[in-house]
Structure 1
Amino acid sequence: MTQILTRPEVAPTRTDGLEEALTCVDVLPVTHDVKTFLLARQHDSALVFDAGQYLTLTLEIDGERVQRCYTISSAPTRPGTLAITVKRVPGGPVSNWLHDHLVPGGEVWATGPHGDFCHVRHPAGKYLFLTAGSGITPAMSMLRTLQDGGLADVVFVHSARTPEDIIFRDELDAIAAVGGALVTVICEADSPTESWRGPTGRLGLRNLLGVPDLHDREVFTCGPTGYMAATRQILEQAGVDPARCHEELYDLAARGAAPSTGDDAELSGTRYDVELRRTGRRIDCADNETLLHAAHRAGLNPPSMCSEGMCGTCRLTLLAGAVDMQHQGGIRQRDIDQGEILICCSTPTGDVVLDV
């Protein structure tokens, strides 16, 4: 999404959306290493969001400020709940902190919702969801929403390592039992306590060709990097229209390793002055370089994660000047109207002043 932004004359009043502490009201076990955290706003109002969107959590762990993005796994059609479902990642500071320390009564700071990985942005009568591991969470939010509407034809294919790793297993079984969706779960191997009787191995072309009305479906894919690459290739082999395919890499932290604009390309000779108002520093930024890359080049390390305009972590206020921002849903229009930008996907079109 491309927008040319200048600092607005008058900032409108901020309306709904989230930038506040949420209170944990319950913790539900999902699998041996996955928990769902039910969260509530302190002023007891519902959060308006689209199924598939996510929140950015900010925590202080061992004296360090860290941020991570987690999909809202609950459905917007059920306003009494707001939930994130988190898998414990070995060595992952945030997921382990949440599993070990977030209990009812505890609080987390959250902003959002963010993201365009939402079925409402691509309305259709028939959907196909392809997920693996924790990538099931946005698809589950969309499935629950579509179930509540009762109007869509849904095929849901989930890949898990073993039966004990199937996230939302009981709910998927219940949905399949009543015919709410055609659900298939593929396991790579048996678990120590259960031999899997369903499809085994990994998602392949044969699985896709067995999907009824495959070429008439809007396809949403979410999972780890290897799964996404393989699924993209399989969809191409099956002849699915790429315009119908929408994907999201669930590990946004992995996206943070991706280079910002300017890392792999020669920087333009046209440079603009970037004033960091509160620190008093000035840096230069090429007109084909993101503000985030220019900051890194100057030895600065502003908060950032996805580097693709998706997570909203690098949001700052533009006090003066103009930028070309190409975001992917990580910032709301009302925030843009107030002069806020994402520096990971903003290139200057002149001298700029940032509130940092």
Structure 2
Amino acid sequence: MAAANNMPSAAVRYWKDDEMLECVSVIPEAPNVSTFCFAAPSGALFDYLPGQFVTLELPVPGGPLHRTYTISSSPSRALSITVTVKAQPDSIGTRWMLDNLRPGMRIKAIGPAGHFTSHHHPAEKYLFISAGSGITPMMSMVTYMYDLGRTPDIVFINCAKRPSDIVFRERLEHIASRIDGVELRWVVEEGDRYQPWTGYQGMFNQLMLGLMAPDYLEREVFCCGPEPFMQAVRDALAGLGFDMDHYHQESFQPSLAKEEQDATEGDVVLEEDAAAEVTFASSGITQTCKETDTILATARSAGLNIPSGCTFGVCGTCKIKKTSGQVHMVHNGGITDEDIEEGYVLACCSHPIGKVEVEA
């Protein structure tokens, strides 16, 4: 005990994204799905909100590729951070991770960031609805609530193609077996051969919602999954009279309705034939373009590589400092009002009006 009292007390250090992440383990979860666990080589801890995301810089053939992934671990377990990824048929970055990323390798990361978190919407009752890899932010939020040691009130619905595709099933069932207040509801489109399925089967609908969470009108709803799935959930809730002010979703795909709604934000109309010019101060390059071109597209035309992820104003990866000129920016939450006041813009959704200079 005396020796322990003589131990020096080190100041707590938190990871910053100027330090690379080291992959320390890879855990297979389901077909074409794996969890990658990262630690800071310096031993720094991770500070973020459950449900937030990071953008990874992946060294794929042909140049670095930036991909945004929700953090599946909980900030209550700060020694490491995990992302759980699923490769689609046309995946490039995720496919590279599954085939090449191994313990000991280091990659760059940007973040954490994002507003999809229960921290911003405290409630007595929650309803988490997800499909496929959209389960990852829900896993982070449930784990955090579990680690608090209190009794939550969560109805957790996850939809998958078949039982073997349900990610985190065993871990979530363990959590539900240890504390009251976490009700799990699995929905599959079809069963697995040789494994009988006795739960819900088919496409998620209003009838299932009423059976799974009869008090859904009293719950704060978080939804994540493919856009058609989230649209079906929105339609089901709206059709049942749910107050959509209590509905929140995470998506790394653009919403057409949102884009159409914001197209004339600020009464700015971009002219197709209007000439513009962007100076990239750090590179010493000036590139002509049109007002309808984004700064990101203009940079690429000039042969410059500005890191980017989602390309429609959600992830914040392409944030750069504007030093002069005017831009028209319509983002989807990837930049704060404070950043905008300090002169930052998102290159992917900022259109130059006349002459503009940025630090890039």
* TM-score, normalization by structure 2: 0.82
Residue 175 of structure 1 corresponds to 175
- Output the amino acid matched with 2:112: P
* Aligned residue in 2 for 1:6: none
Match of 1:306 among 282, 307, 310: 310
**Structure 1 equivalent of residue 44 of structure 2:** 45
- Give the distance between the partners of 2:86 and 2:235, measured in 1 at CA: 27
In the TM superposition, residue 193 of structure 1 has moved relative to its aligned partner by 3.6
Check conservation: 1:20, 1:111, Cα contact below 8 A: no
Task: Give the distance between the partners of 1:46 and 1:325, measured in 2 at CA.
Answer: 34
SS in 2 for 1:39: strand
1:164-218 per-position Cα deviation (integer Å, ceiling 9, x unaligned): 0000010122223233401100011011242211110111101222314211211
**Bigger shift: 296-305 or 63-72?**
296-305
Query: Secondary structure in 2 aligned to 1:330?
Result: coil
For each residue in 1:288-313, what CA deviation from the matched residue of structure 2 results, as whole angstroms up to 9, or x when unmatched? x5734773897878554423321123
CA shift in 2, pair 1:102/1:270, >3 Å: closer
* CA deviation after TM superposition for structure 1 residue 336, in Å: 5.7
Q: Are positions 1:267 and 2:270 aligned together?
A: yes
8 A contact 2:49–2:117 mirrored in 1: yes
* Residue 128 (structure 1) aligned with residue 127 (structure 2): yes
Determine helix, strand or coil for the equivalent of 2:164.
Answer: helix
Structure 1 partner of 2:9:
none
Match of 2:11 in 1: none
1:233 counterpart residue number:
235
- 2:249 match: 247
Aligned-partner Cα distance in 2 for 1:97–1:294: 25
8 Å contact kept, 2:323–2:359: yes
**What secondary structure is seen at the aligned counterpart in 2 of 1:73?**
coil
1:159-174 map, 5 Å: 159-174=159-174
Equivalent residue for 1:221? Answer: 223
Question: Aligned partners of 1:328, 1:66: CA distance in 2, in Å?
Answer: 21
Identity, % of aligned positions: 36
Distance (whole Å) between structure 2 residues aligned to residue 256 and residue 36 of structure 1: 28
Indicate the SS of the match to 1:18. coil
Please provide the CA RMSD for this pair: 3.2
Uncovered stretches (5+) of structure 1, i.e. residues with no partner:
1-14
Shift of 1:279: 4.4
- Is the 8 Å Cα contact of residues 72 and 82 (structure 2) preserved in structure 1? yes
Taking the aligned partners of 1:116 and 1:329, their CA distance within structure 2 comes to 8
Q: Residue 208 in 1 paired to residue 212 in 2?
A: no
* Separation (CA, whole Å) in 1 of partners of 2:284 and 2:196: 60
CA contact (8 A) 1:256 1:305 kept: no
Residue 72 of structure 1 aligns with an amino acid whose one-letter code is I
Report the alpha carbon displacement of residue 350 of structure 1 after superposing the two structures with TM.
7.1
Partner SS for 1:124: coil
Report Cα offsets for 1:43-81 as digits up to 9, x if no partner.
111121111111101122113221111111000111123
**In structure 2, what is the equivalent of residue 184 of structure 1?**
185
Q: Which moved more, 1:164-173 or 1:95-104?
A: 95-104
1:282 shift after superposition: 3.5
Amino acid at match of 1:200: Q
1:354 aligns with 2:355: no
**CA distance, structure 1, for counterparts of residue 311 and residue 170 of structure 2:** 36
Q: Call closer, same or farther: CA 1:120–1:190 in 2, change over 3 Å.
A: same
Deviation at 1:334, TM superposition (A): 7.7
- 3-state DSSP of counterpart to 1:69: strand
CA separation in 1, counterparts of 2:174 and 2:99?
Answer: 30
Q: Which amino acid aligns with 2:348?
A: C
Matches of 1:332 and 1:105, distance apart in 2: 34
Residue of structure 2 aligned with 1:318, choices 300, 309, 322: 322
**In the alignment, which residue of structure 2 is the partner of 1:283?**
288
> C-alpha displacement at 1:31, in angstroms?
1.5
What displacement does 1:227 show? 0.7
| Cα gap change, 1:312 to 1:76, in 2 (>3 Å) | same
Alignment pair present for 1:330 and 2:329: no
CA contact (8 A) 2:127 2:219 kept: yes
1:208, 1:238 within 8 Å by CA — same for their partners in 2? no
Q: How far does residue 280 in structure 1 lie from its aligned partner after superposition?
A: 2.1
Using the alignment, how far apart are the partners of 2:53 and 2:138 within structure 1?
12
Alpha-carbon contact 1:116-1:328 (below 8 Å) kept: no
For 2:85, the equivalent position in structure 1 comes to 86
Change in CA separation of 1:337 and 1:105 when aligned onto 2, cut-off 3 Å: farther
CA distance in 1 between counterparts of 2:106 and 2:336 reads 24
Q: Distance in 1 between matches of 2:92 and 2:30?
A: 19
Q: Name 1:4's counterpart in structure 2.
A: none
